[in-house]
Amino acid sequence: MSRPLTADRLQAGRSFLFVPGDRPDRFDKAVATGADVVILDLEDAVAAPDKDRAREHVAAWLGTGNSAVVRINAPGTPWCDDDLAVATRFGAPVMVPKSDDPAVLADVARRTAGESFLIPLVETAAGIERAVEVCATNGAVRVALGNVDLAGQLGIAHDDHVALTYARSRLVSASAAVGLCAPIDGVTTAVKDLAALTADVAYARRLGFTGKLCIHPGQVAVVAERFAPTESEREWARSVVAAGDSVTVVDGHMVDKPVLERARRILCADRPAPH
């Protein structure tokens, strides 16, 4: 049985593993991968004729005391209300696709009545441009990037780092502006390409992301490892914290309050996500 997904777990998570909602045989296997957060997907991974049955599978699994994020179908679709009702019934965090209208997100939050945390999935140009308002949604604990859908709308390759730099940086900045933790990066679709996955994590991490959506169990361990602070970062952070709270110099560089706060964040991130 998986443990409840608290706000702390969602905020500290590095690896977020999707599993199709119509494949209940994979739910426990997804938990066993060690992913920080499992996402039961009722949207893109499930064909329209199978939506209702997938929702039943998700409800049955959550009903036995398990915990996962539920990616519902987008607001305005025929399945959204029923999906949201199931997630709310079990207090499961909700990933909201196509999160680009603050009013719609506010309505989703209202309908959960505080029972479910929200993870807005930003995957449209409108969502990127309204990133601050999306991040400020009541009940939102973290946002995620839907790079594939966004790239499709923009007419660019979803794995082009340069082309999506603006979108990624805007989500990082918007999250910080409203006091959310750093966002979750989008997927690497080349599931067997370790080099591509490693490069994607390195780039996202450089821009300020601290977690990533995974679509294959084989990606989980790599994502968790690569988002962890490096040994050199840990050594630097320990030396800065050890120097105390006053303005000082460490290894030839001035250390003041912002630098000290960054060092403390690194040491905090070095702790595994609570399970």
Q: What is the reported pTM?
A: 0.87
Question: Would you say residue 262 has pLDDT above 60?
Answer: no
pLDDT attached to residue 4:
81
pLDDT attached to residue 187:
98
Question: Would you say residue 266 has pLDDT above 60?
Answer: no
Contact 88, 109 (CB under 8 A): no
3-state helix vs strand vs coil in the chain, percent to 5: 50, 15, 40
Cα separation, 251 vs 15, in Å, equals 33
Contact 214, 176 (CB under 8 A): no
Q: Are strands 248-250 and 253-255 parallel, antiparallel or unpaired?
A: antiparallel
Return mean pLDDT, the chain. 90
Strand, coil or helix: what is 103?
helix
Question: Would you say residue 185 has pLDDT above 90?
Answer: yes
Q: Band the pLDDT of 249: cuts 50, 70, 90.
A: low
Q: Band the pLDDT of 228: cuts 50, 70, 90.
A: confident
pLDDT attached to residue 244:
60
Render pLDDT for 37-93 as a digit per residue (tens, 0 to 9).
Answer: 999 999 999 999 999 999 999 999 999 999 999 999 999 999 999 999 999 999 999
Superfamily for domain range 7-228: Phosphoenolpyruvate-binding domains (3.20.20.60)
Domain ranges of the chain: 7-228, 229-275
Contact 248, 255 (CB under 8 A): yes
Query: Which of the residue ranges 164-178, 209-223, 256-270 would you say has the lowest mean pLDDT?
Result: 256-270
Question: Would you say residue 112 has pLDDT above 90?
Answer: yes
Q: Band the pLDDT of 98: cuts 50, 70, 90.
A: very high
Question: Would you say residue 236 has pLDDT above 80?
Answer: no
Burial of 173 (0-12, 13-18, 19+ CB in 10 A): middle
Closest Cα to residue 216, out of 73, 47, 4, 20?
20
Which residues, 6+ apart, have CB-to-CB distance to 237 below 8 Å?
229, 262, 263, 264, 266, 267, 270
Contact 222, 194 (CB under 8 A): yes
Strand, coil or helix: what is 36?
coil
